[in-house]
Chains A and B, each alone.
Chain A
Amino acid sequence: MLHSLITPERGAPNHTVFSAREGAAYSPGMYRYDELDQAFVDARVAEFRDQTRRHLAGELSEEEFRPLRLRNGLYIQRHAPMLRIAIPYGLLAARQLRKLADITRRYDKGYGHFTTRQNLQLNWPKLEDVPQILAELATVQMHSIQTSGNCVRNVTADHMAGIAPDEIEDPRPYCELIRQWATLHPEFTYLPRKFKIAVTGAATDRAASEVHDIGLHLVRDARGELGFRVLVGGGLGRAPMIGQVVREFLPRAELFAYLEAILRIYNRQGRRDNIHKARIKVLVKALGIERFREQVEAEWQAGRGAAAQLPAAELERVRAFFRPQPYEIRADQDITAGASPRFKAWYRYNTRAHRVSGYRAVFVSLKAHDAAPGDMSAAQMEAVAALAERFSFGLLRVTHTQNLVLADVPQQHLHELWQELEALKLATPNIGTLTDMIACPGLDFCSLANAGTLDVARQIQQRFDDLDYLYDIGEIELKMSGCMNACGHHHVGHIGVLGVDKHGEEWYQITLGGSASGFTALGEVIGPSVPKHEVAATLERILEVYRAQRLEEERFIETVRRVGLKPFKEQAYAPHPAAA
């Protein structure tokens, strides 16, 4: 097993390739644009520059400009435009992160916000600067294409891809192929609604694939052939649903043909009369999975003669970019022996096992107790880019939990890396705990939001500032959204917090029992919503029920599943029966 990792059988890209554009070293371990990819993003930048010019000149009304700017990731928000930059399947090179830092300094307020879809949002760019920002991104093989709008969005993946001990196959080459296939797809760029695809290749689902429009699970069939289990119709937002299996095994060569069949059924039959009923999940539910499957299979057979093919040679070309790094195998060592308690805590909570002995994956916590979840300053970005080059082959990953990961850190460097991260305030040892919460930007920035999330996050961080208490509560997923659109994935939080507007006031509805990893479940509302100042106190009462009810070693979510919601409902509101 290990040998095949270290000695890749496949052909691989040259390790010292330089990009023609700025002479920056290409980072092995990620996809590298060729002439076609570069020509495409350059043409896209030129097109958007022209569209922006026409809009500013009054030739394109806001209504006409809107679908065009959305497909380039540009929203008009509460205070300013918001630009959502694609980080395909969350993979980022150090030089790209440096460029992002540079962009946030020159065109924004010196920080960015990492999202649950592994993207980066800038909250304060000027509309007239956006074409230039996109041109800057194109110099480091990045873009913001299809990060919003009713089209196929950034494809997401397991942040442990390629290094997870439980992985069957690295999902990233398939994500990259889907990214290309979906980019300005002539038939599917004006769908009824947004369309999200997640790919996972491991036994544990770390990509929340069952709450995506399409979830693809890499699996092997009885003959050992690789293929996909295809799920369809998952999604959060209004009327959350869990995806259903439409095909148990799809040969890899059929990937595009099958995706086209699903998208065509959806494009033709998905509802366009009601934005709240336009996602594919509504169509799948209306038809029923059996009828939906029959239609997809028939469309697939009828359409495969004209659909894009995925030849084996192309698959291998892309796979070769993601070959394992040139690891130096060393025996796993106990590097926490004799170390400080704080380092031990960091090691335990913020690092993860790697499939190659001698290495660990390290979370860069963007959940410091005095910062907005997922926010990162330009200085932090630059420093972490340098750390990635020093310790982790120059690459980073963005997780859907709004943290970064340095995936390939030799264990003997962990202490040094920890010290550096501590100095940067990026080592809060809280990954997987209550304060590693997911939160959308909420009312402070987003024009869709009904309620604030960032000040509630602050309230929670302050109330649960005691690490020993956090560790006692243990592994728990807290997810918070400022509105029904559920960007903060509150439905699948062990504890979900949803901001609602009540007569102009911000209130918060609390759900329990959701999960998107392993056993996907949607949380249930435990009772009436609570006012803003009561959120953290309510959470504390819920956690007290857990502490009183748990069996030994039982995680919060397991206790909720075992005892049900009743004791939580009874206790959560006990001191405040008047809560409306």
Chain B
Amino acid sequence: MRHILRQRELIADQWRYLGEQLAPGEAVVVPFAELARERERWWAWDGRLGVRLAPVDRVEDLAEELPRLDLVAVEFPSPGEGRGYSQGRLLRERYGFRGELRAVGAGVRQDLVFLLARCGFDAMELAGGEDAQAARRALTRYPVAYQPGAAQVALRRQRFHAP
């Protein structure tokens, strides 16, 4: 059973990834390329639908699918891969995506969850071996921030704000 750190709670994942055992009506996450290829099929899926974005995928190309989506999973294949932070902010701020924004991949480490949360990620599938409790604590590592960001972490003070 996969666990997800979601809004500071560790919960059992209710989503299936394409390729995993999937019952009709179950919530499923499909790769963006798959959604683009089989658009009609997935729009007609009898259940909640999510999509998985690779670092090279453009958020702009996903815009038309967003009304159908309850989850967007963004890949962080390594700790140094930073494109997902931009994808996350764009989804939240520019495209107004309100569903679950989930960081996935080997790069999702306790040392990065604060950044992820500030970019709008409300769910993290921690990389194998990561200490979930330590990751939960790391969400509140910083009591202050300079930049505007999503309110996933409780801050005492923030210096700069968005309009």
In chain A, positions 251-286 with a C-beta closer than 8 Å to chain B are 256, 264, 267-268, 272
A187-B86 contact in complex given A43-B141, A181-B160, A309-B162, C-beta closer than 8 Å: yes
A contact residues around B116 at 8 Å (CB)? 186
A contact residues around B94 at 8 Å (CB)? 302-303, 306
B contact residues around A189 at 8 Å (CB)? 82, 85, 115
From DSSP, what is the main secondary structure of chain B's interface residues?
Answer: loop
In chain A, positions 153-209 with a C-beta closer than 8 Å to chain B are 180-181, 183-192
User: In chain B, what residue has the closest Cβ to A266?
Assistant: B86
B contact residues around A35 at 8 Å (CB)? 157
Q: How far is the CB of A64 from chain B (nearest CB, A)?
A: 7
A51 CB–B CB distance under 8 Å:
yes
A264, B109: Cα distance in complex, Å: 22
A465 CB–B CB distance under 8 Å:
no
B161 CB–A CB distance under 8 Å:
yes
Residues A180 and B79 in contact, CB atoms below 8 Å apart = no
Number of contact residues on A: which range applies? 35 or more
Contacting residue for A306 out of B93, B141, B156, CB 8 A: B93
Residues A180 and B159 in contact, CB atoms below 8 Å apart = yes
A40 CB–B CB distance under 8 Å:
yes
B147 CB–A CB distance under 8 Å:
yes
A421 CB–B CB distance under 8 Å:
no
A186-B159 contact in complex given A67-B80, A68-B111, C-beta closer than 8 Å: no
Residues B146 and A306 in contact, CB atoms below 8 Å apart = no
Residues B160 and A191 in contact, CB atoms below 8 Å apart = no
In chain B, positions 37-60 with a C-beta closer than 8 Å to chain A are 55
A565 CB–B CB distance under 8 Å:
no
Residues A43 and B118 in contact, CB atoms below 8 Å apart = no
A contact residues around B162 at 8 Å (CB)? 305-309
Q: How far is the CB of A244 from chain B (nearest CB, A)?
A: 23
A310 CB–B CB distance under 8 Å:
yes
A contact residues around B109 at 8 Å (CB)? 64
A150 CB–B CB distance under 8 Å:
yes
Residues B143 and A43 in contact, CB atoms below 8 Å apart = yes
B144 CB–A CB distance under 8 Å:
yes
A570 CB–B CB distance under 8 Å:
no
A287 CB–B CB distance under 8 Å:
no
Residues A190 and B81 in contact, CB atoms below 8 Å apart = yes
User: In chain B, what residue has the closest Cβ to A180?
Assistant: B146
Residues A190 and B80 in contact, CB atoms below 8 Å apart = yes
Residues B119 and A150 in contact, CB atoms below 8 Å apart = no
A47 CB–B CB distance under 8 Å:
yes
Contacting residue for B86 out of A264, A302, A305, CB 8 A: A264
Q: Mark A526-552, 1 if CB is under 8 A from B, else 0.
A: 000000000000000000000000000
User: In chain A, what residue has the closest Cβ to B138?
Assistant: A47
A306-B148 contact in complex given A47-B141, A187-B119, C-beta closer than 8 Å: yes
Q: Mark A34-45, 1 if CB is under 8 A from B, else 0.
A: 011001100110
A268, B83: Cα distance in complex, Å: 5
In chain A, positions 297-318 with a C-beta closer than 8 Å to chain B are 302-310, 314
Residues A310 and B79 in contact, CB atoms below 8 Å apart = no
Residues B115 and A310 in contact, CB atoms below 8 Å apart = no
Interface centre among B86, B146, B159 (most CB of A within 10 A): B146
A36, B147: Cα distance in complex, Å: 12
B contact residues around A46 at 8 Å (CB)? 141
Residues A190 and B160 in contact, CB atoms below 8 Å apart = no
A268-B86 contact in complex given A150-B80, A190-B81, C-beta closer than 8 Å: yes
In chain A, positions 374-407 with a C-beta closer than 8 Å to chain B are none
B contact residues around A267 at 8 Å (CB)? 82-83, 85-86
A303, B95: Cα distance in complex, Å: 11
Between-chain CB contacts (< 8 Å), 20 pairs: A36-B144, A36-B146, A36-B159, A39-B143, A184-B114, A185-B147, A186-B89, A186-B115, A186-B116, A187-B119, A189-B85, A190-B80, A256-B160, A264-B86, A302-B94, A303-B94, A305-B163, A306-B94, A308-B162, A309-B162
Q: Point out residues on A near B: beta carbons under 8 Å.
A: 35-36, 39-40, 43-44, 46-47, 51, 64, 67-68, 150, 180-181, 183-192, 256, 264, 267-268, 272, 302-310, 314
- Return the 5 tightest CB-CB contacts between A and B, nearest first: A190-B82, A186-B118, A308-B160, A306-B93, A187-B85
